[in-house]
Amino acid sequence: MSGPPLQFLELPRRLPRVLPAAVRITNWAEPYGEYAPEDGAAQAGRCLDCGNPYCQWGCPLHNAIPRWLDLHREGRLFEAAELAHATNPLPEICGRVCPQDRLCEGACTLETGFEAVTIGALERTLVDDAFRAGWRPDLSAVRSTGKRVAIIGAGPAGLSCADRLARAGIEAWVFDRHAQVGGLLSFGIPPFKLARAVIRTRRAVLEAMGVRFVLDTEVDAALFAKLRRDFDAVFVGTGAEKAVACDLPGHGLPGVHAAMELLLRNARRVWESEDAAPAAFGLPDLRGKRVRVLGGGDTAMDCVRTAVRLGAAEVACIVRRGEADMPGSRREVASAREEGVAFHFHCQPLAIEGATHVTGLRVFDAGAQAERVLDADVVIVAFGFRPSPPEWLTDAGIVVHAAGAAPGLHGRIRVDGERPQQTAAARVYAGGDNVRGADLVVNAVRDGRDAGDAIAAMLRAG
């Protein structure tokens, strides 16, 4: 069943209202509005309901997108939410942070010649609406198995794993070093992309499902050993937080900052209060400054937009590749531009200049085939992240790709056990960035989900 077959022709693609850039940079809120119910339904009705649902194939989670679009169109909100959760433990989050233009919406049949269905916005809207209307995952039929599983890391992989375990009647205990759940979601992704309230809601939902959070807790060798003893299985979702080093001349100058440091500190600040003073959280004062961000991924976009909101006078993004080859979401680039960020493509940074403090950035401009110097007060390095598994992990017999492995593999946990996401240690599973290297949230969700299902299957099998 689907809506009128030609709705996609009659009704153009329309995203929910977005706050104008001038307004949105004054605060840390998500700038995206919501669909009025009938608008959302109408947008959902643009779906062709293809026999080959390309969106579903394009989604790493294989979300049953056409089906929940159809339920949404029919106003069957709770069923839509239930179906969204059937494949995706964190749909409202994916709806916000996924680069849909590269995944589901990019694969959408209508993307050729027409305009893709607004899958991301609809996913977010339908789950938000369902939560507001009181929907919660129904675990009434779940029978407790009496099993317990420890999850290290409350990031997207860990949360997803916890969700699956809870649905299988397994008690999930999630340990994290931060005071809040979410991991990268809370401390990497800036709040204007993913509001803290969304994470709070998700935490509440998970807690209501019986998931236990043990926060502010650093797992060390001793605790890990205890977890392995006391729990029926362990899932390791420790992410990839080690920044790729910047070895440009001048990288030690004051005014050079690592991306994660900036994002993390700002995230902590916003968790406290949007109005809290940056300095109190160790953030540099960017007000009135010329900020240059190195890198072209999503983290770089997060940095430039954060810098704008922290009051920088002039923000530019220095990208080695061309615009078309940028790894990040095009939507983010567009948002950054709207917010006044300049882009220098095909520019290879050569050195950070300055005597006591950053004054400029020397680049090779491949377009002009010439070196030039961009003036700068602050340089933020966003060259990406690598996993850096703690020693207690390798000590416990979990195998990590060694330095000599293929480029990019170094430091990543190997999951080549019998079951999906299983490590070399029988009852230890892993997933997310620590397995993949820095990757999309949705892939971490998939790993967590699959690991949860695999652990449940293992425990069921005895």
Partner 1 sequence: MIEARGLYDGVERDSCGFGLIARLDDTPTRAVVDAALVALARLAHRGAVGGDGRSGDGCGLLLRGIEPFVRALAREAGISLGRDPACGMVFLPRDADAGDEARALLREALQAQGLRVAGWRDVPLSLADCGPIAEGNRPRIVQVFTDVADATLVAAEDIERALFLARRDAEQRVAGSAGADAARAGFHVVTLSRHTLGYKAMVLPDDLPRFYPDLARADLRASAAVFHQRFSTNTAPAWERAQPFRLLAHNGEINTIQGNRHWALARGARWQTPRLDLELLQPMVSLDGSDSQSLDNMLEVLLRGGLDVLQAMRILVPPATAALEYRDPDLAAFYEYFGLSLDPWDGPAGLVLCDGAYAACALDRNGLRPARWLLTDDGLFVVASEAGVVDVAPEHVLARGKLGPGEMLAVDFAKGTLLQSTDIDAINASRAPFKRWLKQGITYLSTELIDPALAAEPFDAATLRRFQKRFQLSREERDSVLRVLAETEQEPTASMGDDTPLAVLSAQVRPLSDYFRQGFAQVTNPPIDPLRESLVMSLATQIGREGNVFALSPDNARQVMLNSPVLSQRKLRQLWALPQFADARAQLELYLHEGESLPAALDRLCAKAEAAVRDGAVLVLLTDRYPPSDDAVAVAALLATGAIHHHLVRAGLRCEANLLVETAAARDAHQIACLVGVGATAVYPFLAYQTLAALAGHGILADKPGHQAAEFGRSYRRGIKKGLLKILSKLGISTIGSYRGAGAFEIVGLAPEVVARCFPGLPSRVGGAGFAELEADARLLAARADDDGADLEAGGLLKALPGGERHLYDPVIVGALQRAVRSGDVADYQTYADAVDGRPASTLRDLLRLRVEPARAIALDDVEPAADILPRFDSAGMSLGALSPEAHEALATAMNRLGARSNSGEGGEDPARHGTERRSKIKQVASGRFGVTAGYLVNAEVLQIKMAQGAKPGEGGQLPGHKVDATIARLRHARPGIGLISPPPHHDIYSIEDLAQLIYDLKEVNPDALVSVKLVAHAGIGAVAAGVAKAYADLITISGYDGGTGASPVSSIRHAGGPWELGIAEVQQALRTQGLRGRVRLQVDGGLKTGLDVVKAAILGAESFGFGTAPMVALGCKYLRICHLNSCATGIATQLPALREAGFRGAPEMAMQFFRFVADDVRCWLARLGVAKLADLAGRLDLLEALPGETARQRGLDLAPLLGDGGAPASAPRACVEARNPPRDPGLLAARIAADTDDAITHGLPFEARYPLCNRDRSIGARLSGVIARKHGDAGLPADAPMVLRFDGVAGQSFGAWNVPGLALELTGEANDYVGKGMGGGRIVLRPPAGARQAAHEAPILGNTCLYGATGGELFAAGRAGERFAVRNSGATAVVEGVGDHGCEYMTGGQVVVLGRCGMNFGAGFTGGLAYVLDAERDFVDRYNADLVELVRITPEGMEHHRQHLRALVARHVAATGSLRGRAMLEDFRDVAGRFWLVKPKAASLESLAESLRAAA
Q: List contacts with partner 1 (CB under 8 A).
A: 1, 5-6, 8-9, 48-54, 56-58, 62, 64, 67, 74, 76, 86, 107, 109-110, 112-114, 141-143, 167-169, 456
Of residues 110 and 262, the one with the C-beta less far from partner 1: 110
C-alpha closest to that of 368 among 340, 342, 348, 341: 348
Q: How far is the CB of 443 from partner 1 (least distance, A)?
A: 15
C-alpha closest to that of 171 among 379, 421, 459: 459
Of residues 357 and 460, the one with the C-beta less far from partner 1: 460
Of residues 52 and 273, the one with the C-beta less far from partner 1: 52
Q: Left (φ > 0), alpha (ψ -120 to 50) or beta: where does 49 sit?
A: left
Q: Does residue 352 sit in helix, strand or coil? A: strand
C-alpha closest to that of 389 among 422, 355, 414, 361: 414
Of residues 169 and 349, the one with the C-beta less far from partner 1: 169
**Residues, the chain, total?**
462
Q: Residue 130 and residue 95: Cα distance in Å, rounded?
A: 14
Q: Residue 297 and residue 96: Cα distance in Å, rounded?
A: 17
Q: How far is the CB of 441 from partner 1 (least distance, A)?
A: 20
Q: How far is the CB of 409 from partner 1 (least distance, A)?
A: 24
| Residue position matching structure tokens 């079951």 | 419
| Residue position matching structure tokens 């204007």 | 192
Q: Do 35 and 16 touch, CB atoms closer than 8 A?
A: yes
Q: Residue 300 and residue 328: Cα distance in Å, rounded?
A: 9
% helix, strand, coil for the chain, step of 5? 40, 15, 45
Q: Do 459 and 443 touch, CB atoms closer than 8 A?
A: no
Q: Does residue 374 sit in helix, strand or coil? A: strand
Q: How far is the CB of 51 from partner 1 (least distance, A)?
A: 3
Q: Do 429 and 422 touch, CB atoms closer than 8 A?
A: yes
Q: How far is the CB of 382 from partner 1 (least distance, A)?
A: 32
Q: How far is the CB of 105 from partner 1 (least distance, A)?
A: 14
Of residues 48 and 352, the one with the C-beta less far from partner 1: 48
Of residues 143 and 229, the one with the C-beta less far from partner 1: 143
Q: How far is the CB of 130 from partner 1 (least distance, A)?
A: 16
Of residues 280 and 457, the one with the C-beta less far from partner 1: 457
Q: How far is the CB of 142 from partner 1 (least distance, A)?
A: 7
Q: How far is the CB of 421 from partner 1 (least distance, A)?
A: 17
Q: Is 379 exposed, middle or buried (0-12, 13-18, 19+ CB in 10 A)?
A: buried
Joined together, the tokens standing for residue 254 give: 């004051």
Of residues 76 and 177, the one with the C-beta less far from partner 1: 76
Of residues 42 and 50, the one with the C-beta less far from partner 1: 50
